[in-house]
Chains A and B, each alone.
Chain A
Amino acid sequence: MSGPARSGSSSLRRVLLVWLLLPLIGLVPLTALLVYGLALRPALDALDHALTDTAVALAQIIVIDQGRATLPLSEQTARALRADLIDETAFAVGDPQGRPLGGNAALLALAPSVPAGQWQFFDATLEGRPVHAAAHGHPCGEPAQICTIVVAETLGKQAAAKRAALLGALVGAAAIALPLVGLATFAVGRALRPLRRAAADVESLTPQRLEPVDARGVPREIAAFVHALNGLLARLRLAASAQRAFVSDAAHQLRTPLAVMRVEAAEALTAHHAPEVHASLERLHAAAERGSHLAQQLLTLARAEGMSLDPSMPMRPLDLESLAASVANRWLQPSLDAGQDLGFDLEPAPIDGYATLLEELLGNLIHNAIEYAGAGTRVTVRTRSTAGRAVLSVEDDGPGVDAQEVDELWQRFRRGRDARGSGSGLGLAIVADIARLHGATATLGPGESGRGLRVSVSFALAGTGDRRAS
């Protein structure tokens, strides 16, 4: 079965997946962004708090003496205030006039002026490195005087916090998105599976086998379609069986008048008759023979199709050896009349099959040899069992058929290009039909000596598996 959805046609599966998964593509990044923001904010706040703590500690050290602010900061205290495991920190304190009282003068120069009691956080570059800093306006001395305290640190902890938040967001998004995608794909596949199974069932139908599609387990929406399809199949079956019945009936009806024609033509030929009507009588006789054979073949075709559909007529064990021996009587005389030497080379070859159809198959092969091999040829019917196969073949040492005609020969109503006989060409088509019904393979090629024609039909030996053709 080729792909159910070709370009240009819509796929139910694709539509479902697009509508289920398209929202995910928008929503998952949005969710991730939200998670990232929510996780990062407290971490950054905590870092800012650490900066303000240092600034508050510095403010405690500022001393106002006679209206002048000083920062009596020992080297030890300064080191303690700068201590940090990850980042490098710096601080600076400026007097109301902006002169540095202590710490890093370059940092003080970066600080904005901040009103008293206020905080301002900013990012800057200190000595060539990016830093995050907090600036604080600290009232010192006279009411209007403001000292500036600045504390800065490099971005190590901040970057770590961002990485952690990002990781959290990504893991969270994946934890939502992956199961959703998986579940959606699975659910769509599962919901559509009955449809695929029904499609495969329909695909396996042949004109000879129009069984209803199994509607069990098919969802309601599809079941309606399957029921409609089964209704159509039932009507088709009815039409096909009516047609088979018609062909079979017509062939049966033909038999009695054909019998009269055969008898009368044969009798007229043997009775005294005017020489000028002799050719006409011979043609009449030949036409009656051909019509009889054709009616028989049509019946066989109709019956082969009917049997393959009728479960009340199972195949039975039989031996091709005795089957071949049993048709010998019927075909010996026609073969002798055609000036041929019909012989048999039979070994046991047990199979399961329909005896009447197989007799017809063999009869058609022998008839074919009678028609096409010509007078003076040897025709040999052979049965063998080798390597798990039971093979029935009919071989002649006549002119044979060239390779390009082989395929054509199998076609219904086709005849060899130099056909001489009275065959309608139905013969090999019937052989092919009956072989297919038995799950056998028919091949056509030159005879053993490289001359003539050999048609072989290879069956599974009895008891070696399913022989019923699908």
Chain B
Amino acid sequence: MHILLVEDDEPLALSLASAMRTRGWRADVSGRGEPVAASLLKDDYDALVLDIGLPGIDGLETLRRIRAQGSFLPVLMLTARDTVEDRVTGLEDGADDYLVKPFAISELLARIRALVRRHEFRRGESIALAALRFDAGARRAYIGERPIRLSARECIVLQYLLLKTGQIVPRDQFAALIPGWDAATSDNALELLMSRLRAKIEPGGVRLRTVRGLGYLLEPIAPA
């Protein structure tokens, strides 16, 4: 994983970079927004972590510039402000996600992983979570090198859960996802499907949680 981290607060930038490097990621740090566009052309990054409050051109302007030069790189915005305006502006200008300071490092890393996974999936690559791997093109799942047998519905559900790793997926979203299911399909049927899927994928070091009354959540067993 190769991350470009743009953060003007030096201690925070060093902390984050060091936490990423501990996990075997490569992290380049920039204190300003101006050189970012050029850096992206020069190096191949997996994601950009961009602070909004930068000296010179701010994070939002930096984001506009790199999107204007045609980059689809996943971007996670950091902000010290969490008013509605900041959120809306950031996401409208092409940020994929945002995080409000002060965040937990595990949260930041999980968000970056999720962004990268989604981005790779869009490029037709396989998605991996712990030992679980899903080949989007072939619609096949593996734990390590061992393939696991999934029904068509389980495939759709797993793919969606992998895209939303770490986020709660509401029940009604599954109903919309699965052909032949609708809002009238009972929660019991969905729970049955989930428990079968759970038995198949949890040996891969992931956990498929039921969030009481709301939906389901797929996460690695040992995050960060």
Contact = CB atoms under 8 A, between A and B. Distances in A.
Contacts of A329: 166-168
A355 interface: yes
Given A258-B101, A259-B103, A356-B84, A267 B212 contact: no
B186 interface: no
Contacts, number: 87
Interface residues of A, number: 35
A325 B214 contact: yes
Interface of A: 252, 255-264, 266-267, 270-271, 288, 292, 295, 299, 303, 325, 328-329, 332-333, 336, 341-346, 355-356, 380
Interface of B: 9, 11-12, 15-16, 18-19, 22, 80-84, 100-107, 166-168, 170, 209, 211-214, 217, 224
Given A271-B22, A328-B168, A344-B213, A355 B84 contact: yes
**4 nearest CB pairs, A to B:** A343-B212, A259-B102, A344-B213, A258-B102
A422 to B, nearest CB: 14
Contacts of A292: 102
B170 A263 contact: no
A256 B80 contact: yes
A263 B105 contact: yes
Contact of A346 (B12, B166, B213): B213
B19 A267 contact: yes
Contacts of A299: 82
B160 to A, nearest CB: 16
A267 B83 contact: no
B214 to A, nearest CB: 4
B15 A264 contact: yes
B84 A263 contact: no
A256 B212 contact: no
B167 A256 contact: no
Contacts of A345: 213
A256 B19 contact: no
| Residue picked from A255, A292, A303, A328, most chain B C-beta under 10 Å | A255
Contacts of B83: 303, 356
B22 A259 contact: no
30 contacts: A252-B81, A255-B101, A255-B102, A256-B9, A256-B101, A258-B102, A259-B12, A259-B102, A260-B9, A260-B15, A263-B12, A263-B105, A264-B15, A266-B19, A267-B105, A270-B224, A288-B102, A292-B102, A328-B211, A328-B214, A329-B166, A329-B167, A332-B168, A332-B209, A333-B107, A336-B209, A343-B212, A343-B214, A344-B211, A380-B212
Given A267-B15, A342-B212, A356 B82 contact: yes
A258 B9 CA distance: 12
Nearest to B110: A333
A303 B16 CA distance: 29
Contacts of A303: 83
Nearest to A289: B104
Contacts of A271: 22
A346 B171 CA distance: 12
A332 B217 contact: yes
B211 A262 contact: no
Contacts of B166: 329
Contacts of B16: 263
A424 B168 CA distance: 29
